[in-house]
């Protein structure tokens, strides 16, 4: 049986699934329910100077009949008194001493403010601190959150302050609202952070009410940019995660992966691209805390199938599969194949290819239905037909190399090979 036990920066938890700093980790009753359901740890919702939230706070993007493919919020850090939060953290830790308790922090940008906040939080006995350098709304206007994470030098300065007073592991949470997370990652690692987490939410507008003309969410007839999360941001999170894993200065720092993780498969993908554990929020808000049972069972079964005994056995294995476009094998070629027995004759593959791609599918009109075949000489192996097909394994991509040897673009140009003949 696979061992799901996780150790992140020396912090132990029974599995690698933590709840991210967000509404699900805002108070004792939520966190107790989460731990009873089986979550390995939590990152307590960000603590700092008490704030006042607005109403409403959330909006979403629905797609294909599914609610909240993308989730948007304009909620700020914890609006509960600091001392109440600290007391509840202590109480939860007494009831579940085997779970990871990390506390997210966002102090005013003075060294003294960070010192005072760190001391109070560390006195709870929590296992680690997460610095919120990513919140893209509300706190930004106060010079905190994403404003810090977007400037590597400011981020470095704050982490240096924190490391003077931190007696437990420090995780720095990076913002995706930048061209690249690498400069900020390098800066905070140089400043001494023990680990990283990413991504925080992406600044967004999810839509506009076509009756009132007010963007969502509506607060008395006005709105603001919010933080976007949920399944829609997963590809962006994986890209940022991989960019740190491929960078020499950041690749050896443990990373907690965040961004659209809804299933055990998502978690496995994050870990294969370098995350040592994962944090979840939107999926728990949508489906409840019990989803962690499926996550644990699914990941364990997959690890058994692949022969992995521990999480560490496969963390980062897929990073080496990412290269530069110029290094890809030009001689590698695939063509589509349609399984006529599985085809339901919907024509989606034909429409997509004929209207928007390479006209590589032939249609034979007939009664009671049309049939479709691939024109192999025209097929470029783009995958579009396979992506559009609603039937699993009806369309498969078959390898059909253009040449026996590996040939990349640089070598192609160097040899002066003709484009049209290749």
Between CA 247 and CA 253, with CA 248 as vertex, the angle to 5 degrees is 85
Could you list the pLDDT tens digit for every one of the 422 residues in the chain? 899 999 999 999 999 999 999 999 999 999 999 999 999 999 999 999 888 889 999 999 998 888 888 999 998 899 999 999 999 999 999 999 999 999 999 998 899 999 999 999 999 999 999 999 866 554 555 555 567 878 999 999 999 999 999 999 999 999 999 999 999 999 999 999 999 999 999 999 999 999 999 999 999 999 999 999 999 999 999 999 999 999 999 999 999 999 999 999 999 999 999 999 999 999 999 999 999 999 999 999 999 999 999 999 999 999 999 999 999 999 999 999 999 999 999 999 999 999 999 999 999 998 789 999 999 999 999 999 999 999 999 999 999 998 889 999 999 999 888 776 54
Task: Tell me which CATH code domain 326-415 carries.
Answer: 3.30.70.20
Residue 368: its pLDDT value, please? 87
pTM: 0.94
Q: Of the listed 135, 281, 379, 389, which one is catalytic? A: 135
Q: Give domain limits for the chain.
A: 6-321, 326-415
- Is 305 strand, coil or helix? helix
pLDDT of residue 25: 97
Is residue 391 within 8 Å of 342, Cβ to Cβ?
yes
Q: According to the model, what pLDDT value does residue 422 have?
A: 43
Distances in whole angstroms, Cα of residue 178 to Cα of each of 95, 107, 184, 307, 317: 40, 22, 9, 38, 26
**Residue range 6-321, CATH number:** 3.20.20.70
Q: Give the pLDDT confidence score for residue 138 in this predicted structure.
A: 47
Are 53 and 79 in contact by the 8 Å Cβ rule? The answer is: yes
- The reply to whether 135 belongs to the active site is yes
**Cβ pair 133, 146 in contact under 8 A:** yes
Non-local CB neighbours of 373 within 8 Å, separated by 6+ positions: 338, 361, 362, 364
């Amino acid at each position: 049986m696979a061992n799901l036990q996780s150790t992140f920066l020396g912090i132990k938890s029974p599995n690698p699934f933590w709840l991210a700093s967000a509404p699900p980790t805002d108070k004792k009753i939520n966190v107790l329910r989460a731990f009873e359901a089986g979550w390995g740890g939590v990152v307590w919702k960000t603590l700092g100077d008490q704030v006042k939230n607005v109403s409403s706070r959330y909006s979403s993007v629905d797609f294909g009949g599914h609610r909240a493919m993308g989730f948007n919020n304009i909620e700020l850090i914890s609006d509960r008194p600091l001392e109440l939060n600290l007391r509840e953290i202590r109480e939860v830790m007494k009831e579940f001493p085997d779970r990871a308790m990390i506390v997210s922090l966002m102090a005013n940008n003075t060294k003294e403010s960070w010192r005072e906040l760190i001391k109070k939080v560390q006195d709870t006995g929590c296992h680690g601190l997460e610095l919120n350098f990513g919140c893209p709304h509300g706190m930004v206007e106060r010079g905190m959150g994403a404003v810090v994470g977007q400037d590597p030098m400011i981020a470095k300065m704050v982490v240096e302050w924190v490391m003077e007073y931190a007696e437990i592991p420090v995780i720095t949470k990076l913002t995706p609202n930048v061209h690249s997370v690498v400069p900020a990652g390098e800066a905070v690692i140089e400043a001494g952070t023990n680990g990283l987490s990413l991504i925080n939410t992406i600044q967004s507008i999810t839509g506009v009410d076509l009756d009132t003309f007010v963007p969502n969410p509506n607060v008395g007839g006005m709105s603001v940019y919010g933080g976007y999360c949920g399944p829609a941001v997963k590809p962006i999170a994986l890209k940022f995660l991989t960019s740190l894993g491929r960078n020499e200065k950041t690749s050896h720092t443990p990373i907690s992966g965040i961004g659209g993780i809804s299933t055990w498969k998502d978690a496995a993908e994050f870990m294969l691209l370098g995350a040592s554990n994962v944090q979840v929020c939107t999926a728990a808000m949508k489906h409840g805390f019990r989803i962690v049972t499926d996550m644990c069972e699914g990941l364990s079964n997959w690890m058994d199938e692949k022969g992995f005994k521990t999480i560490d056995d496969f963390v980062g294995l897929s990073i080496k599969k990412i290269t530069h476009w110029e290094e890809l094998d030009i001689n590698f070629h695939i063509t589509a194949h349609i399984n006529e027995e599985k085809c339901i004759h919907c024509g989606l593959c034909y429409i997509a290819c004929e209207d928007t791609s390479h006209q590589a599918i032939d249609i034979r009109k007939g009664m009671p239905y049309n049939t479709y075949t691939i024109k192999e000489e025209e097929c470029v192996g783009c995958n579009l037909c396979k992506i559009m097909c609603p039937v699993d394994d009806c369309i498969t991509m078959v390898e059909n190399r253009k040449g026996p040897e590996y040939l990349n673009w640089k070598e192609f140009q160097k040899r002066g090979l003709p484009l049209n003949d290749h």
